[in-house]
Structure 1
Amino acid sequence: MSGSPREELHALVEAGWHLVVLESFEEDRALELVEAVAKERGQPCRSWSLASGLRPGGEGAGSLAAGLAAMACVEEPGFFVLLDAHRLLDDSLALRVLRDHLPTFARRGQFLLALGPAFDLPTELLREAGRLQLPLPGPAELEPRFAEVLDEECPGSSRERLDEALRGAAGLTVAEAIRVFRRALQEHGALDSEAVRAMLAEKRRALRRSPALAFHETETDLDDVGGLEELKRWLIERRRAFGPEARRFGLPLPRGLLLLGVQGCGKSLSAKAVARAWGFPLLRLDLATAFGDASARPEAVLREAIAVAESLAPAVLWIDEIEKGFASSSNDPTASRVFGSFLTWLAEKRSPVFVVATANDVSGLPPELLRRGRLDDLFFVDLPSADERAEILGIHLRKHGRDPLQHGVVDLAAEAEGLSGAEIEQAVGAALFCAFAAGRELGDEDLANAIGETVPLYDTYEERIKELRDWARGRARPASLDARLVDLFDQRRTR
């Protein structure tokens, strides 16, 4: 099904779905949608809540069963909207009453809309309910509201930057967007570049409402990632694959990739770099937090992440340590549902949202995720080779204002054998502290000492890393040009 939410709701109603689950974080906006469809059909729309009952009279307050009984007393065709329904459908009595009433609703030409941010439908209703997710608002929906706020707060102000402000509001609900826009205008007195910047900063704060979802602004580019030339080449090839020219050429939209490998070797850095290189906004979804937070609903967190990413599209959705969220999907009903929803979205998505999933532990990955066609490719990120270690040393020396040509990075890279990129970065930082404390300029001896004092992760997890390499061989593409160097390293370590 495709089209506007109004068209989709019309289609569900015309197809004979008398129970429709409407998922949205925006109650008022969802009610407006249902009321508009009811009006177009010349039918009334009544809402019901646990506290207020069936409006306008207030009948049936207190329980869903009582509310359904009140609705049963209304014989004319029309729409009923159950507010906060996601918290009410696990009541066995109410569920039985609802199923008993559905044939009556159908016979009378009545439609029941269950409204809430995310639903875990009881098994009994899975084949009885149509589903509709209300996407976050786009520029066309926000423009008249923004114009009204602009006239209220800054009468006569130029609308030259209104399009920029509308783009900046992507990813927010209508209410959030209006609050952010109004505050920026009140602080700056006009719709200028400073107001737009303030609006973007306020938007980042608004998107922190869930600890599992964060909007990232990154200065990291592909040039800041040492090595991983095969991965970089793959990403550069797809830089222009999201535009209309690519569609005319016959290319499908890139889906995403999975970066599997050793900790500290550039997986997360690569996720940040691809967003910067492509000029896309970056959203980070932390599934471990979503499943670990007792107050969070993982299904709702995933749906919100997808909704925000699609409203920002083209965008990069970075799912960090994906195995921590889906590792238990085989025996955890919640994880299984969330994983199923994620796979369905991957298979059906039409929006230019590029997924970058990272994982450290292959044993925790569900096999369905690794199946060809889910994501575009699977890359294995290993410990850096000698050339890559020299490049990484150069990157971090430049970041601290030093010229790599003034240091023996090739010899230092040889001494750093077995270190990850993150460990090399830490060693450079430690060397700088040492030189500063001694009152001298950074020298190669400082760097060599810091490298020598660093205990590689490889020494602690050697067997696990070798198992990871064995699994990846033949299953994943190497992210680096020459994986043979790592094989040589393994041979040396086992002598």
Structure 2
Amino acid sequence: MLLVGIQGTGKSLSAKTIAHEWRLPLLRLDSGRLFGGIVGESESRVRQMIQLTEAMAPCVLWIDEIDKAFGNITSSIDGDSGTSRRVFGSLITWMQEKTASVFIVATANNVKILPAELLRKGRFDEIFFLNLPTEAERQEIFKVHLQRLRPNRLREFNLALLAKQSLNFSGAEIEQVIVDAMHQAFSTRVEGQRRDFNTEDILQAVAQTVPLAAIAHEQIEALKQWAAQAGARTASNDVLLVEELKQYSTEQGIGPLEVD
């Protein structure tokens, strides 16, 4: 499967969760490190990766940020004497023909630059789009992090208010505002004593944070349009998020994307 979406929405965490739930070894492939500076080294690394992965089977192979390695590979500019194309060809051929029990999970932020032949059925059977969390999901994310950090004080935090005020925040941004609130409270002394953070500290950190959804609004909208056009499945079972993705197809008259 290919996991695409906005940064900080849990693509890497999802890959780790799959291996954990299936109780299988997780191998992380940094696709950028496949390429070496010596002639033939890159192709050799691909063969080594395949041999190691199949030797570990059954396992989950997580290809991290695959768009950074193979984005725009079909462009006419080729500054590495065709090495990247040969590496890419070896990889997709193995993905198509492998018989070992290797489940591949790839993550991508800028999926639009990936070559179409990588996206067709047989290489990636499913594409999942990870959207920004809804208010209910944000509340659960706050609960997870606060339960980990302050399990004895969880009831003291107003999770519903925090979720409401953190509109368009990703999971990673929610985690960071909690960390910021901890630092802010720790630096504040009350009667000479350092105090612990509370709901107000987190709300203040939220107010001081500009989420990526606001900074990169156009890029995110374009990604949602691509997901609708490509027929990507939404990773959330929330009805509102499912309908949002369908609405992009309906409003713009977008049909299924031919990627073969």
Which of 418, 421, 440 aligns to 2:195? It is 440
Superposed CA offset, 1:123-173 (max 9, x none): xxxxxxxxxxxxxxxxxxxxxxxxxxxxxxxxxxxxxxxxxxxxxxxxxxx
Contact 1:275 1:281 in 2 (8 A): yes
Q: Per-residue deviation at 1:329?
A: 2.5
Distance 2:4 2:48 in 1: 25
Contact 2:2 2:105 in 1 (8 A): yes
2:127 aligned partner, one-letter code: L
3-state DSSP of counterpart to 2:86: helix
Distance 1:313 1:383 in 2: 33
1:421 match: 171
Superposed CA offset, 1:88-136 (max 9, x none): xxxxxxxxxxxxxxxxxxxxxxxxxxxxxxxxxxxxxxxxxxxxxxxxx
Superposed CA offset, 1:372-415 (max 9, x none): 22222100011111111111111111221334333111110111
3-state DSSP of counterpart to 1:473: helix
Contact 1:328 1:335 in 2 (8 A): no
Contact 1:282 1:318 in 2 (8 A): yes
- Percentage identity across paired residues of the two chains: 46
1:308 aligned partner, one-letter code: L
Mapping for residues 280-295 of structure 1, pairs under 5 Å = 280-291=24-35, 294=37
State yes or no: 1:355 paired with 2:110: no
Q: Per-residue deviation at 1:485?
A: 4.9
Q: Per-residue deviation at 1:283?
A: 1.2
Superposed CA offset, 1:160-195 (max 9, x none): xxxxxxxxxxxxxxxxxxxxxxxxxxxxxxxxxxxx
Distance 2:239 2:218 in 1: 18
Q: Per-residue deviation at 1:483?
A: 5.9
3-state DSSP of counterpart to 1:275: helix
Mapping for residues 60-139 of structure 1, pairs under 5 Å = none
Distance 1:300 1:391 in 2: 45
2:116 match: 367
Contact 2:25 2:60 in 1 (8 A): yes
1:466 match: 221
Contact 1:381 1:480 in 2 (8 A): yes
3-state DSSP of counterpart to 2:121: coil
Long gaps (5+) in structure 2: 189-193, 248-260
2:66 aligned partner, one-letter code: I
1:454 match: 209
Q: Per-residue deviation at 1:420?
A: 0.9
1:477 aligned partner, one-letter code: R
Distance 1:482 1:319 in 2: 27
2:220 aligned partner, one-letter code: I
1:277 aligned partner, one-letter code: E
State yes or no: 1:259 paired with 2:3: yes
Distance 1:485 1:268 in 2: 20
3-state DSSP of counterpart to 1:467: helix
2:233 match: 477
Long gaps (5+) in structure 1: 1-256, 491-495
Aligned residue pairs, count: 232
1:118 match: none
Contact 2:27 2:61 in 1 (8 A): yes
2:37 aligned partner, one-letter code: A
2:154 match: 404
Distance 2:167 2:38 in 1: 44
Q: Per-residue deviation at 1:295?
A: 5.3
1:344 match: 93
State yes or no: 1:384 paired with 2:139: no
**Bigger relative CO (Cα 8 Å, ≥ 6 apart):** 2
2:42 match: 298
1:302 aligned partner, one-letter code: V
1:225 match: none
Contact 2:173 2:211 in 1 (8 A): yes
Contact 1:423 1:456 in 2 (8 A): yes
Superposed CA offset, 1:187-244 (max 9, x none): xxxxxxxxxxxxxxxxxxxxxxxxxxxxxxxxxxxxxxxxxxxxxxxxxxxxxxxxxx
Contact 1:329 1:335 in 2 (8 A): yes
